[in-house]
Amino acid sequence: MKNLLKGAVAIVAVFFSTQFANAQQKLGHINFAEIIQSTSDYKTAEGQLKTLSDGKTKEIQDMVTIYQTKQKEANDKLRNRSEANKETVDPEINKLGQELQDIQSRIQTAQQAAQEELGKKEDELITPIQRKVAEAVSAVSKEKGMAYVFDISSTNIPYFQGGEDLTAAVKTKLGISATAAPAAPAKK
């Protein structure tokens, strides 16, 4: 009977110590996106991406201008087509039609290639920044003894109260002024 009582007391003690330990776990939260956008690396990457995007947009716009010029030329030929000149105008219109299809195909290919190139460049530039910020978050979380840290910028947390906001501490760890405003989101 004494052994049974001692066993029960031991189980209760373990249960309460586990509950006490769980109650002592510290929770924190960060705004990962804000931290990333506050880094100078992000601002540099954003500038490089904008330059690349503007260049690709200009290339595609130049192709569209050529397309529009050819289309106007084809429409003019169609308007001026008559029974008398149809044997010379019809082959020209057919040729312009084929050129328009080719240009349209090149435009679509250029748009897809530009999207892929921009995506790869974004990954190339942003991934190291994300890794650097994640390492800083881990370091600050360990320093502050956090059991859990939630990212409030991307996680669907409908409600939270309490917990420690580690955003400023992570910014400080990264050498970012805690009052620095995040960069405006990139326009797509």
pTM above 0.75, yes or no: no
pLDDT given at position 85: 85
Q: Where are the domains of the chain?
A: 2-173
Alpha carbons 22 and 163: distance in angstroms, whole number: 14
pLDDT given at position 33: 93
pLDDT given at position 12: 44
pLDDT given at position 183: 46
Mean pLDDT by 10 residues, the chain (188 residues): 45 46 75 93 96 97 96 89 85 92 96 97 96 94 91 76 83 79 43
CATH superfamily of 2-173: Skp domain (3.30.910.20)
Alpha carbons 80 and 74: distance in angstroms, whole number: 10
pLDDT given at position 166: 87
